[in-house]
């Protein structure tokens, strides 16, 4: 499945949240789209930044910098713009709650 397809699926899934109870796995499911670069549960192995255990506020600040263009990127600026603020908060909260493994 292409990244674009995953982003569209995540957006469609979240569109119905207003009238339904929130899916308890939504944060995990949204964060799964980050696994290709940042590793499963945020444990990156390559050059990508490790997200697991990072403070949520720090992760949100970095995403805000990508969205505004203050932090240059090849793809993160485009990916970050594809999520609502609520989705970004779910994703960063998910990664912040992961054990660092160190």
What tokens appear for 72 in the block?
């240059």
pLDDT one-digit tens code per residue, 14-64: 554 453 457 889 999 999 999 999 998 999 988 889 999 999 999 999 999
Q: Which fold has domain 3-11+24-97?
A: Cytochrome Bc1 Complex; Chain D, domain 2 (1.10.760)
Report whether 92 contacts 62 (CB < 8 A): no
pLDDT at 24: 86
Label each residue of 12-50 as H, E or C: HHHHCHHHCCCCCCHHHHHHHHHHHHHCHHHCCCCCCCC
Measured distance CA(14)–CA(2) in Å, rounded = 19
Q: Does residue 2 surpass a pLDDT of 90?
A: no
Q: Looking at the predicted structure, is the pLDDT value of residue 84 above 50?
A: yes
pLDDT, mean over the chain: 85
Give the other-Cβ count within 10 Å of 63's Cβ.
22
> What are the respective helix, strand and coil percentages of the chain, to the nearest 5?
65, 0, 35
């Amino acid at each position: 499945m292409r990244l674009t397809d995953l982003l569209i699926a995540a957006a469609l899934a979240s569109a119905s949240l207003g009238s339904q109870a929130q899916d308890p796995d939504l944060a995990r499911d949204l964060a799964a789209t980050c696994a290709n670069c940042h590793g499963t549960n945020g444990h990156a192995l390559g050059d990508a930044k490790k997200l697991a255990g990072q403070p949520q506020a720090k992760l949100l600040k970095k995403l805000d910098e990508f969205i505004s263009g203050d932090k240059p990127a090849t793809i993160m600026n485009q990916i970050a713009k594809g999520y609502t603020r609520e989705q970004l908060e779910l994703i960063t909260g998910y990664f912040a709650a992961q054990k660092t493994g160190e």
